Structure 1
């Protein structure tokens, strides 16, 4: 592995970190540094939408607040496989996403923990602004607490 490849891998990992921080903090404008403007995103396995980034970003802002601001992703098992040109990469990352949601069952305003575990499948491309995701499919492997 040469220095250029190490640099590319680090930049892609940093983009993955920016993604989870943007989602967890609700700072959705940070996603502009993760996705290409024409990116396609598919959250259907977790009850979300499949659409272009321009449509998904406001959808996230409208729907994720149901989980309060108490969201916290962790990523692991990141695999990066470069295409022959080294300007595209298939990236998979295992995720665990615990969140708190209002517990309508109790009626007293308490929150309950819900969790999603799965795999993010990205296609990253090299752009003038650095590595960006052109495609994301969120594969749900398990849930708990819903």
Structure 2
């Protein structure tokens, strides 16, 4: 038996590999503060569900993420346990994350860690896969929550 790039199992593996790359690229782009790279991961009509805010449109997602991360000195987003379901030109993912946030001018230790989940919906485009919806949920946290405040006293 031979497999071609169009056979179902090979196509699914290729799709899952490409989708994995998108999810990991989002994390890398956030930590590198590479907003052009970050933008390549999202469809123009993308939506974000971030517990305390719902955001519509890629530009709004970028602006909100920049506003949240740029005051910090460093972040490190580790993404794992990625589960992908592909259904034609649409896909859903579930992943867990641990995100370290560092801010030297915080009122406490300057380090805050958050663990949670990403639930994404992606759409195949002519060139690649794009996130059309991201839902983020925190499950636990530890450390100095003043790291995340917009102004430090």
TM-score range for the pair, normalised by the shorter chain length:
0.7 to 0.9
1:50–1:56 Cα contact (<8 Å) kept: no
2:13 corresponds to 1:6: yes
If you compute each CA radius of gyration, which structure gives the higher value, 1 or 2?
2
Tell me the TM-score normalized by structure 2: 0.82
Q: Does the 8 Å contact 2:45/2:132 carry over to 1?
A: yes
* 1:86-105 matched pairs, under 5 angstroms: 86-105=88-107
Please tell me the root mean square deviation across aligned C-alpha atoms, in Å.
1.6
Q: Structure 1, unaligned stretches of length 5 or more?
A: none
1:121 matches 2:126: no
In structure 2, distance between residues paired with 1:36 and 1:129: 12
1:30-109 to 2 correspondences below 5 Å: 30-43=37-50, 45=51, 47=52, 49-52=53-56, 53-68=58-73, 70-83=74-87, 86-105=88-107
CA contact (8 A) 2:16 2:86 kept: no
Structure 1 residue 105: Cα displacement: 2.5
Q: Provide the secondary structure at the position in 2 that maps to 1:31.
A: helix
Aligned-partner SS, 1:7: helix
Compute the displacement of 1:18 (Å): 0.8
Instruction: Please identify runs of 4+ aligned residues in structure 1 that moved more than 4 A.
Output: none
Structure 1 length-normalised TM: 0.86
Matching of residue 16 in structure 1 with residue 13 in structure 2: no
Query: How many residues are matched?
Result: 136
Q: Match of 2:113, SS?
A: strand
Alpha-carbon distance between aligned partners in 1 of 2:106 and 2:66, rounded to the nearest angstrom: 22
